[in-house]
Amino acid sequence: MSLGRQGVLYLVFGLVQLAVDWLCFVALTWFGMAPAPANLIGRVSGALLGFWLNGKHTFGVTTQGKLRPAHLARFIVMWCLTTAASTAAVTLAEGAEGLYFAWLVKPLFDALLAAFGFLISKFWVYR
Confidence of residue 43 (pLDDT cuts 50, 70, 90): confident
The type of residue at 62 is: T
Residue 36 has pLDDT above 70, yes or no: no
Nearest Cα residue to 41 out of 29, 50, 51, 55 = 29
Note if the pTM is more than 0.75. no
Q: Where are the domains of the chain?
A: 3-125
Close Cβ partners of 126 (under 8 Å, ≥ 6 residues apart) = 54, 55, 58, 59, 62, 63, 71
pLDDT digit string (tens) for 85-95?
Answer: 888 887 888 88
